[in-house]
Chain A
Amino acid sequence: MKLDRRGFLKFAVGGAIGTLATPIPWDMIDESAKFTDLWAPEPAKGPSSFVHSTCRLCPGGCGITLRLVEDKSGRDEWRGWHHKEFIQRRRLPAVPLRAVKIAGNPDHPVNHGGICPLGAAGLQLLYGTNRVTTPLKRTNPKGEGEAAWEKITWDEALNIVNGKLREIREAGNPHTVACILDNKKGLTAELIDRFFRAYGSSNVITMPSQEDVETVGLSLMQGTGGRLAYDLENSKYVLSFGAALLEGWGAPVHNMMVFGKWQEANEHTLVQIEPNCSITASKADKWLAVKPGAEAALALGMANVIVTEGLYDRSGIAHCQGFEGFKALLESEYNPRKVSEITGIPANVIATTARAFAVTKPAVAVYGRGQGVMSGNLAEFMSIYSLNALVGSIGTKGGVVMQREVPFKAWPALVTDAVALQGLSQPRIDGEGGEIKHGVCMAHNLTAALKSGAVNALVVHEANPCYALPGAHKFEEAVAKVPFVLALTSCMNETARSADIVLPVASYLERLEDVASAARVPYASMSLTRPVLANVPEARHPGDVFLTLARAMGGSVGSSLPWDNFEALLKEKVGGIFASRRGWIGDQEVAMLGSSDELWEGFNAGKCWYEEPVFGGGGLTFNPQGRTPHFEPVSWMEASRDYPMLLVAYENINIANRRAVDTLPYLTKNIDDTVLQKHDLLVRVNPETAGRMRLVEGDAATVQCPTGRLSVRVHMDVGMMPDVIGIPLGLGHSNDDPFLTGKGVNAYEVLEPVADPVTGLAVWWGTRAKLIKA
């Protein structure tokens, strides 16, 4: 039978009818629908569990709860199709245990279940693309173009480091080794500090922080160091001198929780004193737009009102020294009318605020600028802190509190040998203060020290000075001159890129570590970060790295650090908390526990140890060493013809700044398009000021400073003080992170620290500037 056209068509029609009677069409519709469903990857299912730990991404120390998903299916892949290569089934490696969410831990005393955006995004650090996964060795000379890396083993890396440190020590130069840490809080930092002291170097230097000037100020005025904290929760009148209480200052979530309670109770007053309309200023009951840098003058103006009107705490002042001299200075120099001229705040506002502050009990004056990284001079701190003494708020409920130390078991005596003693007797490379001597680090002096060739080896542990020191680019140039640079970091950052050896350290979700006492919180507390899972198996605990190095070095270093691993050290240290019988772990009193092991178990179940705040100790000296609180302008505050404007740095809670972590991808969704647009950073300028320069919203411009220039765009912000440019800190990275690199400019590059003549500490929060239309 010949198949002609008609026959074929009939066959086809028959086939079509037949097909309808088969599963083919219905199946195919179904299949195509399910196929498109798989264009997105399908998360593997499994039982969920919840684990408590502690966040270490900022000094806040919040309790967190991680949700873990277990996948025991034994399947070797996730389902889903690769969106780009349709034919290639997307193969995602099976993960036996993964973390899918970080939430606040409702049982933690610091944050009561709340969490900040950075903390909530923490898993993007754990699973980040920018993790260092193996030890790396640089294969091209520093300072010559992009770094080239070779992957090496831990043994090789530690051998190199050990060899270098040995070589320097054997040459009798242990003091030419320096180490940079973000801060000296926590046992890991203390262990590193101990390592270098036993080695023979006192050059363990921390990044600049507001706490530096506080430490010096407190030791002068009160004779003690101690960590300055505030009982904000119980304070009825809070006078904040620029502290970004709701934007990341101190323990951010704790403060926000307290703010939420304030709003409910409706009996607390917050007065925010800062030049520009910040979120804290907007949320405050009153915002006093003080001229930048004139905060101290305003504080003294208020002190004048309190003193001249006799509103001060007479019984408290009886325990203070130097009040008469302070009073005399206030009366002669800081009457409200004069202060009004300096600060731009009307005299009657100064007076009414001062009166309200003095009569509302308890009241507290908070010293601060932004999140607590930038700082002013000693005179400023003393001026503001004096207000607390005047109203009797030092060591009282609702006032200023000295945070107690966590009663860890003390370190055994340091073992030193002749080389170590010789090294420790050398002056520290960052200098030791100005007119008065103090032990606080002055990292801003490091650039000069590195350039002078005084440093043979530099160890940087979880800090990023090449990005976040004021004048960062100059520091980066100086680092290139150091013969040997070692960086310990969990993510590749600017400093690691300038190193010779990079060691991958475990992130806070992968290691056991103490997180003691949230910053500025009135009570001592301690909970642990716990090794929940190991996403980077090669990454090691930095404490273990230094303990291993100590064993390898032997001698005084080995004897000073005899612990097998960090856990053993931590466990021993926790024994001190048990022995102190102080405080509570979770809802159990430590004094009621039977053994230190019980306490240890509690910590390892994610519980937090804390104790009630201890009040008392109100007296201070107003004029230590003859230095009475006064207003001392910083050099760049004065307008000049070449630079008519003032550039002031500000911080944004969604732009991680100098902390253990850079801005995480989720946070980029929270960054306003008035701050960042594609690759351009926008500076905030008052529309009137911008108009004078014929600038409109979004215009490209150049910020010209004495120290350099930045290409930016302009955002017109009515909340900005005229003639002030606001620039966010934390942008302008060049760290290979696709979500961050090349976005905006790094304000640290133009901020030039000025040494406080008294302390030598860096005063830095701004610089003179000129805005030029590009």
Chain B
Amino acid sequence: MSEEHVPTGGREGEHKQAGGGLGMLAAGFVVAIVVGWLLYPAIVMSSKPQPINFNHKAHGAEGAGLACDGCHTFREDGSFAGIPKLDNCIQCHESAQGESPDEAKLIEQYVTPNKEIPWLSYSYQPLCVFFSHAAHVKMAQLECTTCHEDMSKSSSSPPVKVYRISGYSKNTMSMEACEDCHAEKGTSNACFVCHK
């Protein structure tokens, strides 16, 4: 059976190989690339807009002149407050400062009813992670922009890309990035330095 079959099969195979063979391989490759880079993110991630389009530029050096730690503060117990609470906004925006529609929205929807703004975090870490801002900012004197995007140039808040399965943001820093930097700077990579 094999004697009969091999020659014919071989001929047909040669023919196809010569023709569509590499083509199919390439086609598969191209399709995969397209799916992986263009379609896949749209499928696994949802894009959630921030409740208010926050203008970092207008608040920072080029605007109101606030430094990062003007709003992103440490608490007395050493923990990092992260995204500021409404109280922080109210200090300046008790009433409207300008004419931006976002500020109007802030005052109407949040300041007046005294409702906390449900900001979405770009860098929310999984629950097994302990990230110490104090260690990085106070002790190691790292700039915020070492890990975070430089927001001082941005005049809008891009939507947060959130994985549909885990609920974590696309910008969530990976353990690899932490480890690499720690290794480079000679800081311990022991598990309990960053895990809880």
Contacts and interface: CB of A to CB of B under 8 A. Distances in A.
B90 to A, nearest CB: 13
Contacts of B35: 19, 22, 24
B183 interface: no
Max count, chain A CB within 10 A of own CB: residue among B27, B31, B118, B128: B27
Given A14-B32, A19-B32, A6 B16 contact: yes
A632 B116 CA distance: 71
Interface string A1-43: 1011011101111111111011110010011101101101011
A14 B25 contact: yes
Given A15-B32, A18-B32, A34-B168, A23 B40 contact: yes
A48 interface: yes
Given A6-B13, A21-B36, A38-B166, A73 B24 contact: no
B97 interface: no
Contacts of A89: 167
A1 B28 CA distance: 15
Interface string A54-79: 00000000000000000011111001
Contacts of B30: 14, 18
B133 interface: no
Contact of A47 (B19, B29, B40, B75): B75
Interface in B112-133: 115-119, 126-128
A3 B36 CA distance: 23
Contacts of B166: 31, 34-35, 37-38
B160 to A, nearest CB: 13
Place the interface of chain A in its size category. Answer: 35 or more
Max count, chain B CB within 10 A of own CB: residue among A13, A18, A24, A32: A18
Given A18-B36, A21-B33, A37-B127, A74 B28 contact: no
B6 interface: no
Contacts of A16: 28, 32
B96 interface: no
Nearest to A76: B118
B23 to A, nearest CB: 8
A72 B75 CA distance: 15
Given A34-B168, A35-B165, A73 B116 contact: yes
Majority secondary structure, B binding face:
helix
Interface residues of B, number: 43
Contacts of A48: 77, 79
B174 interface: yes
A43 B127 CA distance: 8
A22 B19 CA distance: 27
A37 B167 CA distance: 11
A13 B118 contact: no
Given A1-B20, A15-B28, A22 B37 contact: yes
21 contacts: A1-B20, A3-B24, A6-B13, A6-B21, A7-B20, A10-B25, A11-B28, A12-B28, A14-B28, A17-B32, A18-B29, A19-B35, A22-B37, A22-B40, A31-B44, A31-B165, A35-B165, A40-B127, A73-B118, A75-B118, A76-B118
Given A22-B40, A72-B116, A74-B116, 18 more contacts: A1-B19, A1-B23, A6-B16, A7-B21, A14-B24, A14-B29, A14-B32, A17-B28, A17-B32, A18-B36, A31-B166, A34-B163, A34-B166, A37-B128, A38-B166, A38-B167, A47-B79, A47-B81
List 4 A-B pairs, minimum CB-CB distance, nearest first: A22-B36, A14-B28, A18-B32, A74-B118
